[in-house]
Structure 1
Amino acid sequence: MHRVSSILAGAGFRSAVLSLLLFLAVFFIAGVVIVSQTSSEAESEIRALVSNEFELFREAADTGDMDQLRQLVDSSAAAAGPRFFVVALYRPDGTLLAGDDIPRPEKLGWSTISSGINATTPSEQYLALTEDIGGNRVTFGRTLFFVEVGSAALWRALMLASIVVGVGALAIGYFTSHGVSAKLDRMADTLERVARGDSRARLPVGRSNDQVDRVSRQMNAHLDRLSDLLGTMRNTVISIAHDLKSPLNRAYILLQEAEETPDEIERAKLLEEAQLEIERLNGIFDTVLRISRIEASDDQSGFAAFSARELVSETLQTFEPVVEEAKQQLVEAPTPGDATIIGDRRMVVQLLVNLITNASRYSPPGARIELSAGLEDSHPVLVVADNGPGIPADRRTEVFEPFRRLNPERDEKGSGLGLALVQAIATRHRATVRLEDNQPGLKVIVRFPIAKAAGV
């Protein structure tokens, strides 16, 4: 019972009912117009027929022999078998001279009269013409029986059509609502499974490609995205726990050793090392929070235009000494022209710094790191290229995941957050990050939107 009430309350069935009511209203108005038009045309034909037959009485009166007119009226009224007309001849004072005993019309011309004199005629309504002929009054009319029968038959046909259409519309509405209700029930069951923690549950999608199917596809896409985010979050939590455990353990051990050692110099050294581990831990927290803040906001109100080449030159001057300490070379590769970037300048500087730091960290002494700014298909780009070991093509997408390190056994210096922050900043600027083989080494290309598309 609940299932039926749910179907009847569904939008499909209610739409069918409303459409049916509108159809019946229009159908009724159309029926009235059709019946009226048909009746009017039938009455016009009767008028023409009565007018033609009335000529017989005029011709009889034109002879001047009133007896001939009277005999014509009596013979017409006395015709054997069923007939569908009435005729009467009256004196000027209203006395019936000949024909049918019917009420005398009060006025000349066309009128509708009633009479029950003819038992073989199903109708008592006649469309009659009354005229004064030879000093007397003649009334001749034909029955409206066929008009009434035709109108009744037409109304019955319209009613039958309305019933058939109504039943069909309600049936279509019921089954349509039943199908939609079944889909919505399956959607509710799936979402309930998702709410219980089943991240693999997906909404069923039919072949009809209706609104419910399109919504299901969109929701499945969101569920896929949510599942990916949950997976990333789980991996991130595990990675955070793992990466925080090491500096915490080292800091704890160093503090214990500092507490136990009697040597003041050794104690100071151990405390300094413990402080460095805590600072490293604090840096990890700061980076995670910064990535979260960047990903959580899409505000671009503070974006402004700046020169990509000037940004590269300033960054190179700042970090060239740092790279030289690692016995590496940081240079600016010449490119024609300049490019304008629309964005948060400090964020883009951080992006470039992280790429330089990453290239320096994983390149051997003597490596060459090149910075450049230019245009690629009218898009401004920043490029950082090195001749280090590079990254295998099948693992390049992994490096953007938080806390992802390709060689965690050998990489003790990095937290695995540098390129994740680069990706977050690029996404905030609607830019793309592409990794290519530099033969040898790695080339990172950050492609920003065209300045005009960004509102300049």
Structure 2
Amino acid sequence: MAATSSTIIQSSERMTDAGRPDTGGPKTRPRPRMRLSTSRLAMLFIVIFAVGVTLVLTAVYFLTARVLDQEVDAVINSEVNNLVDDYSRGGLLQLISTLHRRADGWGRTGAVYLLVESNGFPLAGNLARWPQVVSRYNDWVEFEIDASEAGGAVSHPVRAQIIRLPGNRWLLVGTDILDRSRLASRLRTAMFWGVGASVLLATLFGLSYSRRIRRRVRAVAATCESIMAGDLSRRLPVEPAHDEFDALAAAVNRMLETIEQQTEMLRTTFDSAAHDLRGPLYRARVRIEESLQHEGLADNVRETMEATLAELDRVQRTLGTLLQIAQTDGRGRDVPTEDVDVAALARELVELYQPEAGNRNISLDYRGDTTAILHGNRQLLAQAVVNLLENAIKYVPDGGKVEASVRSDGNAVTLCVADNGPGIPEADRTRILQPFVRLERDRDQVGSGLGLSLVAAVMRLHRAAIELLDNRPGLRVQCVLPVQPQRLSSNVT
């Protein structure tokens, strides 16, 4: 029990609940919406950590308070048993004598005693009267008393046990629990500070971890964008931490090294084969042309040689287009770039192909902005527009219509070539962009199925999106090119 040096004045009218203190419940706040998975993971970690720490500290608080209550109750029970033994041995006079001897126990031990008659008249003890807010029919009660101390009157909480004695007399035995209440208050304060500090540390750690993960993911994404743009020499960053990300990055880097070696070998082989085949094909063409100039050739021989010459032209065009596609897909690091006015480029090419379209009574027009500038490769963009125009003129029937348009919104340039021809079924629009893919209905047409493939390769190089749409009727090829394709321009050496 706590020892104080004060004298009891009177019992107070105030009383507290004999139960445990109310620590209050946690306030639930609406959680902000998080779009990033790292932010959601960090928030989940903070919530789980905060709940765990709160549960642990709350359990420690209640267990400590329970132990303190049990100790206080044990002391009071022991004192009550001693007084009951005195009453059993010597009766009422013995009990009153014992209470008189212990009347000064408040100043030494904080003990509270009061023995009253059935009408409430006090017989012995250090309380002036029975507390009015305390019912005699409760076993355990808690109330407050005002005691004078050096600094004035101080309110002290008291926990007491009430015993009914023969003769309808009542005995109240209790002790001052001010120090216990102060200790419980300090425990609550420590618990709140502990939870707050733990949540703060968890928040700082979660934010730091989330930033680190986002930074690494952005670095990996940027490297992958460069690799997809054709820079196969780039590698994923590996940090000294040697964690799971570093292990994954190292494995991917080894894979990229193998892919780069194989790609370079295939590219070298393809370039060498293409260049080696150009010579024999050119010499064969020259010989056939020289032979056709000789007089006296039989008609069937001349027809055969002319057909062979046409086939050689087709093989040379196919080989040239294949080589151009391979070079376009693999030249992301060294492609020259400049500011290109796509609108002016499209108008020039439309004017160039209008005579050919006019021979087949096809209407070829340009509609759109007068200026649409972006950063790219002029030669490749021109080749893409040429392929789109030739493809449209080739498949549109006589008397049809082809329209080219260029629109700019400041961030992107949209190039469209639309016609009212047979179009392409929706199921075939994705695979038609692959090399050598042709529709069954077009098998009789002259071509190799590489025109749209080259357009798709040019769009990939410029980080652009290409889409084949239904023009109702006909086909509408739409290419959306960013004004500043940073992956393309940043790789120029």
Q: Structure 1 residues 203 and 116, CA, compared in 2 at 3 Å: closer, same or farther?
A: same
| More divergent stretch after superposition (164-173 vs 18-27) | 164-173
- Of 64, 79, 84, 1:58 maps to 84
Cα deviation for residue 139 of structure 1 reads: 0.9
Matches of 1:112 and 1:76, distance apart in 2:
21
1:142 aligns with 2:175: yes
Write out aligned runs for 1:352-431 (5 A): none
Quote the residue 1:389 is aligned against: none
1:102 aligns with 2:152: no
Q: 1:14-62 CA deviation, whole Å, 9 max, x = no partner?
A: 5344223212212222333332222222222222211221234324433
Q: Structure 1 residues 204 and 79, CA, compared in 2 at 3 Å: closer, same or farther?
A: closer
Quote the residue 1:113 is aligned against: 142
Task: Tell me if the contact between 1:254 and 1:274 (Cα under 8 Å) persists in the aligned partners.
Answer: no
Secondary structure of the residue aligned to 2:161 is strand
Task: Tell me if the contact between 1:199 and 1:223 (Cα under 8 Å) persists in the aligned partners.
Answer: yes
Secondary structure of the residue aligned to 2:135 is coil
Q: Structure 1 residues 212 and 64, CA, compared in 2 at 3 Å: closer, same or farther?
A: closer
Write out aligned runs for 1:265-276 (5 A): 268=301, 275=308
What is the number of equivalent residue pairs in this alignment? 281
Task: Tell me if the contact between 1:203 and 1:220 (Cα under 8 Å) persists in the aligned partners.
Answer: yes
Q: Structure 1 residues 10 and 213, CA, compared in 2 at 3 Å: closer, same or farther?
A: farther
Secondary structure of the residue aligned to 2:164 is strand
Quote the residue 2:249 is aligned against: 216
Q: Structure 1 residues 176 and 116, CA, compared in 2 at 3 Å: closer, same or farther?
A: same
Matches of 1:90 and 1:178, distance apart in 2:
72
Write out aligned runs for 1:170-249 (5 A): 170-194=203-227, 196-228=229-261, 230-249=263-282
Cα deviation for residue 103 of structure 1 reads: 1.7
Q: Structure 1 residues 157 and 136, CA, compared in 2 at 3 Å: closer, same or farther?
A: same
Cα deviation for residue 138 of structure 1 reads: 0.7
Write out aligned runs for 1:119-138 (5 A): 119=148, 123-138=156-171
Q: 1:328-351 CA deviation, whole Å, 9 max, x = no partner?
A: xxxxxxxxxxxxxxxxxxxxxxxx
Quote the residue 1:264 is aligned against: 297
Q: 1:372-410 CA deviation, whole Å, 9 max, x = no partner?
A: xxxxxxxxxxxxxxxxxxxxxxxxxxxxxxxxxxxxxxx
Cα deviation for residue 66 of structure 1 reads: 3.1
Write out aligned runs for 1:291-302 (5 A): none
> Please, what is the CA RMSD of the aligned residues?
4.1
Task: Tell me if the contact between 2:38 and 2:213 (Cα under 8 Å) persists in the aligned partners.
Answer: yes
Residue identity over aligned pairs, in percent, reads 20
Q: Which amino acid aligns with 2:73?
A: R
Cα deviation for residue 253 of structure 1 reads: 1.7
| More divergent stretch after superposition (27-36 vs 221-230) | 221-230
Q: Which amino acid aligns with 1:264?
A: L
Q: Structure 1 residues 109 and 267, CA, compared in 2 at 3 Å: closer, same or farther?
A: closer
Q: Which amino acid aligns with 2:144?
A: S
Task: Tell me if the contact between 1:202 and 1:220 (Cα under 8 Å) persists in the aligned partners.
Answer: yes
Q: 1:232-274 CA deviation, whole Å, 9 max, x = no partner?
A: 4532442343243234213312321221112437994995799
Cα deviation for residue 82 of structure 1 reads: 5.3
Q: Structure 1 residues 102 and 9, CA, compared in 2 at 3 Å: closer, same or farther?
A: farther
Secondary structure of the residue aligned to 1:106 is coil
1:44 aligns with 2:43: no
Q: Structure 1 residues 165 and 213, CA, compared in 2 at 3 Å: closer, same or farther?
A: same
- Of 44, 50, 54, 1:24 maps to 50
Quote the residue 1:318 is aligned against: none
Q: Which amino acid aligns with 2:47?
A: L
Q: 1:293-318 CA deviation, whole Å, 9 max, x = no partner?
A: xxxxxxxxxxxxxxxxxxxxxxxxxx
Matches of 2:305 and 2:57, distance apart in 1:
99
Quote the residue 2:41 is aligned against: 15
Cα deviation for residue 88 of structure 1 reads: 0.9
Q: Structure 1 residues 63 and 265, CA, compared in 2 at 3 Å: closer, same or farther?
A: closer
Task: Tell me if the contact between 1:12 and 1:174 (Cα under 8 Å) persists in the aligned partners.
Answer: no
Q: Which amino acid aligns with 1:171?
A: L
Cα deviation for residue 133 of structure 1 reads: 4.3
Secondary structure of the residue aligned to 1:123 is strand
Q: Structure 1 residues 128 and 48, CA, compared in 2 at 3 Å: closer, same or farther?
A: same
Matches of 1:21 and 1:125, distance apart in 2:
39
Quote the residue 2:473 is aligned against: none
Q: Structure 1 residues 257 and 79, CA, compared in 2 at 3 Å: closer, same or farther?
A: closer
Matches of 2:275 and 2:82, distance apart in 1:
119
Matches of 1:123 and 1:251, distance apart in 2:
117
Matches of 1:106 and 1:188, distance apart in 2:
75
Quote the residue 2:96 is aligned against: 70
Secondary structure of the residue aligned to 2:159 is strand
Q: Structure 1 residues 80 and 271, CA, compared in 2 at 3 Å: closer, same or farther?
A: closer
Matches of 1:247 and 1:53, distance apart in 2:
120
Write out aligned runs for 1:72-91 (5 A): 72-79=98-105, 81=107, 83-91=109-117
Q: Structure 1 residues 269 and 85, CA, compared in 2 at 3 Å: closer, same or farther?
A: same
Matches of 2:105 and 2:245, distance apart in 1:
74
Matches of 1:126 and 1:38, distance apart in 2:
17
Q: Structure 1 residues 127 and 30, CA, compared in 2 at 3 Å: closer, same or farther?
A: farther
Matches of 1:44 and 1:242, distance apart in 2:
97
